[in-house]
Amino acid sequence: MALLRGINVGGRNRIRMADLVAGFEAVGFEDVRTYIQSGNVLFGTGSGDRAALIERVEAMLSERFGYAATVVVRSHAEMRAAVAEAPPGFGTEPDRFRYDALFLMPPLTSAEALDALTLRDGVDTASPGPGVVYTTRLIERATQSGINRIASHPAYARITIRNWNTTSRLLALLDEAAAPTA
């Protein structure tokens, strides 16, 4: 699965999902499908070198859609671990908190990403995970959150963010794709 960074955000890098699927298929990926408009692409790869896979995806995106593409690639097992290892209670109070998963591109580590975050007591929390940082913001004090300041930090170029509902749904889609057919 590829999590594309910076498409269909604020009118920039607009890509239709049908075009995105066609691009992945054109370079040999199978069982390609997308989830919502924010650049979540599920596909079959077989096996292979991750760095080569990322290079292949980024080159296709850059050539086909004309932007400097960066992606996070996660396997089904890695997505399962990211969801399973979330902090206790993470995602359970969506009316009170906003929950996000910050997916990290190597060589950025969870510790480095945590250092780049500005957290406000009583408003924000952040916890490290496997290739991810989990952030929580108190909705009623969202304007006081310091988490959005990450966008001005150099580490931000190595991060793509998904809300917890999207993250959980991506895992469910991967589970469905892996389920044996009757």
Q: Supply the pLDDT for residue 91.
A: 97
Task: Look at residues 5, 155, 137, 142 and name the one whose alpha carbon lies nearest to residue 67.
Answer: 5
Of 46 and 118, the one with more pLDDT: 118
Per-residue pLDDT of 119-157, as tens digits, reads: 999 999 999 999 999 999 999 999 999 999 999 999 999
Helix/strand/coil (H/E/C) assignment for every residue in the chain: CEEECCCCECCECCCCHHHHHHHHHHCCCEEEEEECCCCEEEEECCCCCHHHHHHHHHHHHHHHHCCCCCEEECCHHHHHHHHHCCCCCCCCCCCCEEEEEEEECCCCCHHHHHHHCCCCCCCEEEEEECCEEEEEEEHHHHHHCCHHHHHHCHHHHHEEEEEHHHHHHHHHHHHHHHCCCC
How high is the pLDDT of residue 7? Answer: 86
Residue 45 structure tokens: 């790869």
pTM given for the model: 0.93
Task: Tell which wins on pLDDT, 6 or 106.
Answer: 106
* pLDDT confidence of residue 147: 95
Share of the chain above pLDDT 90, in %: 85
pLDDT of residue 2: 96
pLDDT of residue 182: 61
The pLDDT score that the predictor gives to residue 82 is: 97
Query: For residue 4, what are the β-bridge partners?
Result: 71
Class of domain 77-163: alpha beta
168 to 32, 99, 129: CA distances (angstroms) = 19, 11, 15
Q: What is the mean pLDDT of the chain?
A: 93
b/e map of 14-43 (b: 16 or more CB within 10 Å)? ebebeebbebbeeeebeebebbeebbbbbb
- Residue 115: CB atoms within 10 A of its CB come to 10
Listed by start position, the domains of the chain span 2-73, 77-163
Residue bearing the bigger pLDDT, 117 or 11 = 117
* Fold match flag (2-73 vs 77-163): yes
pLDDT of residue 12: 75
- Asked whether 136 and 125 are in contact (CB, 8 A), the reply is yes
pLDDT of 47 > 80? The answer is: no
Cβ neighbours for 149, distance < 8 A, ≥ 6 positions apart: 117, 118
pLDDT at 37 over 90: no
- The arrangement of secondary structure in 2-73, i.e. its CATH architecture, is 2-Layer Sandwich (3.30)
Confidence of residue 55 (pLDDT cuts 50, 70, 90): very high
Q: What is the mean pLDDT of residues 101-115?
A: 97
